[in-house]
Every structure is written in structure tokens, then in C-alpha cells.
């Protein structure tokens, strides 16, 4: 018997839905009918409340539909231009994070050995007393710098830095040294600031080491779709994996991992040797063109072809096409650059090609930061005479960012008391056990600590290894300060968060938690305000912003988009865009990127690369019930030919081992990856059994990743690990 749904014609469908008859009556009649129908619909039973998503750093504006104090649905805020009115799959699944039965409910104190999972529920007062007392003890014994503070990306994170500073510690790390500091360094040291990409208006984009149709960055991801679909933009993707971005590109080149610099230098070689750049612009705005031309001599398309595995004629053609579309063309700067030990120099080569395109501050090119209008809220931190002189990771790499530091370098320093001991750790909304490479080392670091306090909404692996675990309010439950958001043409905007529902269980906001601890340490005066008062301070130059946010859920600053640099000098040593960086020379670094061939993959091994897909946020969504419905576990992407050689069939269990760890998971045999590369999603196989969907599920990539780092910034280098893959005999 046939399935009635299958045999239903398009006309039948419309008939069934009543639309054919209405259509036959003509447009106005249809509209009238709809209006009547709408009038008959009772007012919605829910309240609509503005908020901003928190499932990744993009903070897309949303409207929560709340019924009887319960969030029923999250919808995009159409006035939130930065995300072009989008709320992604993860954003929709935010509900499952807030209402996850695995959420932390009460303060918990470790009872058994670290990581054993024995906890005792304690009252808040006792928890705050204990945190304050332990922090005092560490400070007394090891100076204020003997305590480390780590925070993830969040509107509340600024209070962790303030807390660290008033406590007296310089040791603060953020997710940034596991993410993007090498890329930021590269662009900062070329242009004097970190740019935004005007994807929407670009006519030719090279996307290398980034995956915008899965790793969403707003508005770039949506604008890229509009640009290639509606604006005739050409997209060329370099990725060892056939990502969704590769699939939607005009060209995909499965580049040999770690060779992007050779490709970029060859593009620059062609652009300069064939004089495809605007000589007047380059002479006026850039520094070092002659030095660069000379430097590029050996970096021909032939040389790059040999390195990258991309034909020389394609490289030369791409260079010509890119230059022909300039200045509305770009090498997309990317975001996560925690890849290789020379990631800063790799991204410098991206920045230099952009400079030759003359696309700075122009439509379709790289844009300078716009004015958002928020101001800082200053305070005078106390001074501690008995303190250390500097951060524990200071002077270990030449150009670290002072406020972000390097998590990987800090961890090594802690393990060796080099140059001094750190014995306390306060962690908020970041999960280094799940996101820093070489998990065993993070466990060792935990074991060095006298006392670790973790503030999270879930029993993450970092919480699992802590002494005191404090339940945090989720983004739909708390009052957050304002945050300025940037990102291309649409956006110089401000968001805030107000509670959409009452806090669940005994959860508290980080601000209240810090206030409680600081108050017990006689540091209460530094947190003696409300978030509402704090926001007033932040918006004192844009006093209308708070009202506009209450009305629209977002405030836009109508600041200038293009031509910001007209008549302005660049914040670099030469006061121009630096093709050649004199400061690097002074510091003993290569003033122009020098290509070093990455290690060849040893026989019978594979390079392991990190990446994400549209249903995963780093380590934090692996326990999300809605997302797990669509993607139950992680798999090892293994090329078809490579799998044949190893006698591995699709779905079979394999053992993956590196020099630092070993994991097991199912192989996904596919042509969507190079034969010398393997890949798996992050966040799975947590140690924490209080994350019931990710514990004992799939494999942990962090157990396998070696912990190299970028030589310039200390940014983790997470693509340097080689692994062996063997079939698990049942
Ligand atoms: N293996 C692997 N490592 C990576 C990456 C990767 O893709 N794979 N990506 C790298 C990159 S680009 C980045 S940016 C970093 C990110 O690294 P992290 O900063 O560690 O980010 P997440 O993995 O998202 O972990 C966020 C933590 O915050 C908790 N959390 C979520 N919401 C709240 C809340 O409202 N309040 C509190 N208190 N806690 C909350 C989550 O439960 C989770 O434990 O990781 C880097 N490292
Ligand atoms: N869905 C989703 N979106 C997110 C996030 C998320 O977790 N999930 N996280 C947000 C954050 S914090 C960040 S930093 C951004 C990250 O955004 P991206 O940096 O775009 O994301 P990744 O997935 O890390 O993409 C890196 C890509 O580089 C490829 N690759 C590996 N080695 C090489 C190489 O040598 N050369 C080249 N050309 N390619 C290589 C990998 O296969 C991968 O596809 O995404 C943001 N958006
Ligand atoms: S991109 Fe998705 S997960 Fe990230 S903030 Fe926006 S809606 Fe949330
Ligand atoms: Mo990131």
C-alpha cells in the first residue's frame, strides 16, 4: 500500500491546508482571510523577554517565550542585526542546558580523593567562608601571585579580573590563549589593531583554517552565504577536511596541514612580481614593500605547490583573481589560531596578503574597530608590597598578551614552581580540563593545588577535579553587565541580560559569589554596587542605551564604518601597515614570515586536527540532550583509502594513541578528509560521571593532544600531534 503522504500532490497539500480556495479568491481576499484568522487567535499565553544567547561567544540576541515561569522556546530577536535575525541550532538548544537535570544544584565540597567523585552538599555560607579562608591561606603562604584566576568568555568575566587584581594576583588566564591570541598578535602587529571582515561586501574570499558555515561567527557566517549566493562573491577554501564551508565553496583545496604560510607567501609573490597591487596605496600606507619583494623571491607558486599539494597554476590563478577583485577581496583572517608553533607568523602571512590588496578600511575588505560607546568602570586596586614582580608565565615567550597570558605556559610553570609556587585556583565558566591540550598535565596541575574553587553550571571535568564546586546561574537567570559587540558593517552594538526566569535550585550569580568571598576577605568595598549601578557607569557616554535595550533588546551606535583611517596614522612603530615589522627584528623575531616545513607525517601515523561543527560548542555542549539527539557521539574521521590500508571498516571501534594518551571510539570512514589527517569532535568522554550523556561516550581529544605552543605568544598549538590508529579487536 502506498504511503498517502508520498502520493499527496502539491495541489492536494494546498487544498488540505485551505490555501487553494483562498488563493483563488485573489491576494486581498487572502490577506483579509488571514487577518480575520489572526484576530480570532487568542493572545499568546507566554511572556516575551529579551536576552542574549550564551551557548557560544557570539551572544546572539534572542526573545525567550516564558509560560508560567518556564522557558518554552527561544527565538531570534529580529532587531539584533549582528546575527541577521538568526538563532542557531545550539542557541535553540540552550533550553536543554538550562533545564539539564545534570545541572549543579547546590555548593559541593570534595570528600574523597581529587577526581574520585565523592561530594558533600554544604550550605552557601559555609562554602563562601571556606573559599575565603582558603584563598587567604594561599595568599599568606605564597603571596597574592600564588593564586591563579581563570575565566571563560562571558559578560560577567570582568569581575574575575577585578577580583584577581584586588586580591593581588597578576595570574589571570582566559580561554583566549587556547583560541585566538596568535591571530590577534599577527594582525595587531601588521595593522596596529585587530580587524573585522566585511564579508557581506566582498567579491573574493579565501577561507583558510576556518570553517564559517559550521564554526559560526556572526554576522560573518550569514553574510558569507549572502555574499556567495546573492552578490557573486567567489569563495575558495583551504582545509584538510571537506567541511560544510568547503562543500559550499567554489573551490576546495585539501591543503597539507601546516603549509598555509607557503600558500600565502606564494600569493604575495605573484601579486608583487606581476605588479597586481595599487603602487600608490602601497607606497603611502605600508612599510617595507622592497624588503618584502626581496624576501618573497624563493616563495614561488612552484615552491608552494610542492609544500601544500595544490597545483602551482591554481595558486597563481587564485592570486590573480584575488588581486583583480581588490580592494573588495580578502584572505579571511579566521578566528581560532591555536594550531601550530608558528601560528603568529602563519597569520602574519594572511595579514600581509590583505595589505597588498589594499583592502583596509574599505567595503569588502578588513575593517577597523568601530566605536561602541561603552566605558570602563575604573577602581584603585590595593598594592601588596610582599608580592611577586610579574606573572608566572612572564618572559617565557617574547610577545604574550599581558592580560590573557598563556594557559599552556602557565601550566608548565605551575608544575615546576617556575619561578614561584601557585597553590590556589579560582575558575569561572571555562573548562581547561576539556579544552587545554594534554589532559593529564591539567590533572597534574590540579594535584599541585591546595585549593581549587570552580563556578560552573555543570559538573565539568574541571569542576570534577576541584575542591569546592559552586552552582552558577545560567544566562537566562542572571543580571549581566553590558557588553559591547563588534563585527563588520552591521554591528557596533551593546547588549545586556536581565533574568528571564527565576534562578533554578540554589544557583547564584558569579557577582554575588565574588561579593560574598571578597566581603569575607575585607575586599568588599570593590564590589559594593549593584549590576544596575555598574551598567549605568558603563553607559554614561550613551545614556539612552539602557532604555533602547529595554525596548529592542540591543543598542546600536551609529558610528562610522568605512574611512575610519582617513587622515589617521596606524598604531605601529612605522605608523604604517607593516609588511616588515621592525619591532620583531628588535626582539629577535623574523620581521617577515619565514616558512619552515611542518614535520612530515610519520609512516602509519596521522595528524590529528581540532575543529567544531554546528551542533557543538567546544567542551560545553556534549551533555546537551537536544544536541545529542542529532549527534549521539563523536567519531574518528578516517580517510577511505587509509582505512582500507589499516583494515578498518566504517563504524568499527578503533584505538587512537599519541605520545601523551590513548582513547577509543568508532571510526567514520569517509572521503571528506585527507589520507594523512584524522579528526574528532571535542567535549566527549568526560571523566565527570555527573555529565551522564558525555561520560563514557566517544573519546576525549584533549587526552590525545600534545601541548606545544606558538613561539611568539604562547597560544596553544593543537595541530602538532601525530596519532596511530588501530582496529580494536572485539
Ligand atoms: N579539544 C578542543 N580544545 C579546544 C577547542 C576545541 O574546539 N577543541 N577550542 C578552543 C577554543 S577556540 C576556545 S575559545 C576554548 C574554549 O574553552 P572553554 O573556555 O573551556 O569553553 P567551553 O568548552 O565552552 O567551556 C565552558 C564552560 O563553562 C560552563 N558554562 C556554560 N554556561 C555557564 C554559565 O552560565 N555559568 C557558568 N559559571 N559556567 C557556564 C560550561 O559548563 C563549561 O564547563 O577552547 C579551546 N580548546
Ligand atoms: N558551531 C560552533 N561555532 C562556533 C564555536 C563552536 O564551538 N561551535 N566556537 C566559536 C569559537 S570560540 C571560535 S574560536 C570559532 C572558531 O572558528 P574556526 O577557526 O573557523 O573553527 P574551527 O572549527 O576550529 O576551524 C578550523 C578549521 O581548520 C582546519 N584545519 C586544520 N589544520 C589546517 C591547516 O593546516 N590549514 C588549513 N587551511 N586548515 C586547517 C580544520 O579542519 C577546521 O575545519 O568558532 C566560533 N563558533
Ligand atoms: S551562534 Fe548560536 S550558539 Fe552562538 S550565540 Fe549565536 S545562537 Fe548562540
Ligand atoms: Mo575560540
Of all protein residues, the one whose alpha carbon is nearest to atom 43 of ligand 2 is 611
Judged by DSSP in three states, 543 sits in coil
What pLDDT does residue 7 have? 34
State the Cα torsion 382-386-391-395 to the nearest 10°.
130
Extract the C-alpha cell encoding 362: 574599505
Residue 544, preceding peptide bond in cis (omega within 30° of 0): no
Residue (of 537, 173, 161, 174) closest to 381 by Cα position: 161
What pLDDT does residue 487 have? 72
Judged by DSSP in three states, 541 sits in coil
Task: Give mean pLDDT, residues 702-711.
Answer: 98
Residue 267 has pLDDT above 90, yes or no: yes
Among 211, 260, 431, residue to substitute to test ligand 2 (most atoms within 8 Å of Cβ): 211
What pLDDT does residue 39 have? 59
Task: Give mean pLDDT, residues 687-696.
Answer: 98
Among 51, 52, 56, 617, residue to substitute to test ligand 3 (most atoms within 8 Å of Cβ): 56
Residue 62 Cβ inside 6 Å of ligand 3? The answer reads: no
Q: What is the pLDDT of residues 359-370, one digit of tens each?
A: 999 999 999 998
CA distance 422 to 424: 6
Residue 90 Cβ inside 6 Å of ligand 3? The answer reads: yes
- Hey, where are the domains in the chain? 1-43, 108-180+386-472+512-527, 196-367+564-586, 606-727
CA distance 54 to 36: 39
Give every strand in the sheet of 468-471, ordered side by side: 119-121, 108-110, 468-471, 451-456, 424-428, 147-151, 172-174
Task: Give mean pLDDT, residues 106-120.
Answer: 97
What pLDDT does residue 339 have? 98
Of all protein residues, the one whose alpha carbon is nearest to atom 8 of ligand 2 is 617
Q: If pLDDT is split at 50, 70 and 90, which confidence band does 558 have?
A: confident
Mean pLDDT, the chain, rounded, equals 93
What pLDDT does residue 729 have? 82
Q: What is the pLDDT of residues 203-221, one digit of tens each?
A: 999 999 999 999 999 999 9
Task: Give mean pLDDT, residues 628-649.
Answer: 97
CA distance 353 to 156: 37
214 Cα–ligand 3 center, Å? 11
Residue 702 Cβ inside 6 Å of ligand 1? The answer reads: yes
Residue 222 Cβ inside 6 Å of ligand 3? The answer reads: no
Residue (of 332, 347, 321) closest to 234 by Cα position: 321
Task: Give mean pLDDT, residues 107-127.
Answer: 97
Please, are residues 682 and 144 in contact by the beta-carbon 8 Å criterion? Answer: no
Is the overall model pTM greater than 0.75, yes or no?
yes
Task: Give mean pLDDT, residues 523-541.
Answer: 97
The dotted CATH code for 196-367+564-586 is 3.40.228.10
CA distance 536 to 28: 49
Ligand lying nearest the CA atom of residue 237: 2
- CA Rg value for the chain: 27
CA distance 39 to 507: 42
Residue 423 has pLDDT above 80, yes or no: yes
What pLDDT does residue 73 have? 97
Architecture of the domain spanning 108-180+386-472+512-527: 3-Layer(aba) Sandwich (3.40)
Residue 91 Cβ inside 6 Å of ligand 3? The answer reads: yes
What pLDDT does residue 490 have? 59
Residue 463 has pLDDT above 60, yes or no: yes
Q: What is the pLDDT of residues 64-101, one digit of tens each?
A: 999 999 999 999 999 999 999 999 999 999 999 999 99
Residue 55 Cβ inside 6 Å of ligand 3? The answer reads: yes
Paired sense of beta strands 172-174 and 147-151, if any: parallel
**What stretch of H or E contains 79?**
none
Q: What is the pLDDT of residues 283-302, one digit of tens each?
A: 999 999 999 999 999 999 99
Q: If pLDDT is split at 50, 70 and 90, which confidence band does 19 have?
A: very low
Q: What is the pLDDT of residues 658-669, one digit of tens each?
A: 999 999 999 999
Of all protein residues, the one whose alpha carbon is nearest to atom 8 of ligand 3 is 91
Task: Give mean pLDDT, residues 109-129.
Answer: 97
Residue (of 196, 227, 527) closest to 370 by Cα position: 196
Task: Give mean pLDDT, residues 113-121.
Answer: 97
Judged by DSSP in three states, 385 sits in coil
Instruction: For 606-727, give the CATH class.
Output: mainly beta
- Tell which atom from ligand 2 comes closest to the C-alpha of 258: 35
Percent of the chain with pLDDT over 90: 91
Q: Residue 540, Cβ neighbours under 10 Å: how many?
A: 13
Amino acid at each position: 500500500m502506498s504511503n498517502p503522504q508520498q502520493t499527496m500532490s502539491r495541489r492536494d497539500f494546498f487544498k488540505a491546508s485551505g490555501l487553494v480556495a483562498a488563493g483563488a479568491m485573489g491576494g486581498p481576499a487572502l490577506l483579509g482571510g488571514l487577518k480575520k484568522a489572526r484576530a480570532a487567535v487568542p493572545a499568546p499565553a507566554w511572556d516575551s523577554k529579551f536576552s542574549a544567547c550564551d551557548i557560544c561567544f557570539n551572544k546572539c540576541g534572542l526573545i525567550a517565550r516564558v509560560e508560567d515561569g518556564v522557558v518554552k522556546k527561544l527565538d531570534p530577536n529580529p532587531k539584533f542585526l549582528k546575527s541577521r535575525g538568526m538563532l542557531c541550532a545550539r542557541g535553540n538548544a540552550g533550553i536543554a542546558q538550562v533545564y539539564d537535570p545534570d545541572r549543579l544544584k547546590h555548593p559541593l565540597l570534595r570528600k574523597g580523593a581529587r577526581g574520585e567523585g565523592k561530594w558533600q552538599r554544604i550550605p552557601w555560607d559555609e562554602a563562601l567562608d571556606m573559599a575565603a579562608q582558603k584563598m587567604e591561606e594561599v595568599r599568606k603562604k605564597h603571596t597574592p601571585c600564588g593564586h591563579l584566576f581563570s575565566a571563560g568568555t562571558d559578560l560577567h568575566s570582568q569581575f574575575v579580573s577585578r577580583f584577581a587584581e584586588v586580591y593581588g594576583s597578576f595570574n589571570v588566564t582566559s580561554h583566549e590563549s587556547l583560541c585566538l591570541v596568535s591571530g590577534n598578535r599577527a594582525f595587531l602587529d601588521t595593522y596596529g589593531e585587530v580587524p573585522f571582515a566585511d564579508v557581506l561586501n566582498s567579491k573574493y574570499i579565501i577561507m583558510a583554517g576556518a570553517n564559517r558555515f559550521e564554526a559560526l561567527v556572526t554576522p560573518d557566517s550569514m553574510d558569507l552565504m549572502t555574499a556567495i549566493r546573492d552578490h557573486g562573491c567567489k569563495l575558495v577554501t583551504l582545509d584538510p577536511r571537506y567541511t560544510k564551508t568547503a562543500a559550499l565553496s567554489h573551490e576546495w583545496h585539501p591543503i597539507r596541514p601546516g603549509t598555509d604560510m607557503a600558500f600565502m607567501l606564494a600569493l604575495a609573490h605573484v601579486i608583487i612580481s606581476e605588479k597586481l597591487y595599487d603602487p600608490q596605496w602601497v607606497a603611502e600606507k605600508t612599510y617595507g614593500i622592497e624588503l618584502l619583494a626581496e624576501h618573497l623571491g624563493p616563495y614561488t607558486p612552484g615552491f608552494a605547490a610542492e609544500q601544500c599539494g595544490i597545483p602551482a597554476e591554481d595558486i597563481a590563478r587564485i592570486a590573480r583573481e584575488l588581486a583583480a577583485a581588490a580592494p573588495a577581496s580578502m584572505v579571511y583572517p579566521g578566528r581560532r589560531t591555536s594550531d601550530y608553533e608558528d601560528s603568529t607568523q602563519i597569520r602574519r602571512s594572511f595579514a600581509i596578503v590583505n595589505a597588498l590588496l589594499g583592502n583596509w578600511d574599505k567595503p569588502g575588505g578588513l575593517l577597523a574597530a568601530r566605536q561602541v560607546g561603552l566605558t570602563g568602570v575604573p577602581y584603585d586596586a590595593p598594592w601588596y608590597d610582599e608580592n611577586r614582580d610579574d606573572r608566572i608565565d612572564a618572559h617565557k615567550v617574547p610577545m604574550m598578551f599581558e592580560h590573557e597570558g598563556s594557559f599552556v605556559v602557565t601550566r608548565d610553570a605551575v608544575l615546576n614552581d617556575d619561578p614561584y609556587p601557585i597553590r590556589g585556583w579560582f575558575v569561572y565558566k571555562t573548562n581547561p580540563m576539556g579544552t587545554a591540550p594534554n589532559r593529564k598535565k591539567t590533572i597534574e596541575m590540579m594535584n599541585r593545588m591546595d585549593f581549587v574553587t570552580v563556578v560552573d553550571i555543570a559538573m565539568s571535568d574541571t569542576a570534577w577535579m576541584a575542591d569546592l564546586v559552586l552552582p552558577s546561574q545560567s544566562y537566562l537567570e542572571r543580571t549581566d553587565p553590558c557588553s559591547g559587540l563588534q563585527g563588520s558593517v552591521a554591528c557596533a552594538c551593546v547588549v545586556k541580560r536581565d533574568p528571564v526566569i527565576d534562578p533554578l535550585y540554589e544557583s547564584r550569580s558569579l557577582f554575588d559569589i565574588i561579593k560574598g568571598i571578597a566581603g569575607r576577605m575585607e575586599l568588599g568595598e570593590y564590589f559594593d554596587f549593584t549590576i544596575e549601578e555598574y551598567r549605568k557607569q558603563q553607559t554614561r557616554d550613551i545614556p539612552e542605551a539602557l532604555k533602547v535595550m529595554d525596548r529592542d533588546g540591543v543598542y546600536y551606535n551609529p558610528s562610522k564604518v568605512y574611512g575610519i583611517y582617513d587622515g589617521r596614522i596606524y598604531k605601529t612603530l612605522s605608523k604604517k601597515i607593516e609588511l616588515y615589522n621592525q619591532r620583531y627584528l628588535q626582539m629577535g623575531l623574523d620581521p617577515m614570515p619565514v616558512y619552515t616545513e611542518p614535520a612530515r607525517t610519520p609512516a602509519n601515523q596521522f595528524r590529528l586536527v581540532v575543529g567544531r561543527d554546528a551542533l557543538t560548542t567546544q567542551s560545553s555542549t556534549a551533555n546537551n540532550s537536544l544536541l545529542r539527539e542529532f549527534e549521539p557521539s563523536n567519531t574518528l574521521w578516517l580517510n577511505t583509502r587509509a582505512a582500507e590500508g589499516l583494515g578498518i571498516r566504517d563504524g568499527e571501534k578503533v584505538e587512537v594513541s599519541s605520545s601523551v594518551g590513548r582513547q577509543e571510539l568508532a571510526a567514520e570512514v569517509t572521503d571528506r578528509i585527507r589520507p594523512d589527517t584524522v579528526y574528532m569532535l571535542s567535549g566527549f568522554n568526560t571523566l565527570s560521571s555527573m555529565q551522564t550523556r558525555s561520560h563514557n561516550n566517544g573519546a576525549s581529544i584533549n587526552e590525545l593532544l600534545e601541548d606545544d605552543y606558538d613561539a611568539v605568544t604562547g597560544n596553544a598549538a593543537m595541530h602538532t600531534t601525530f596519532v596511530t590508529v588501530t582496529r580494536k579487536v572485539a
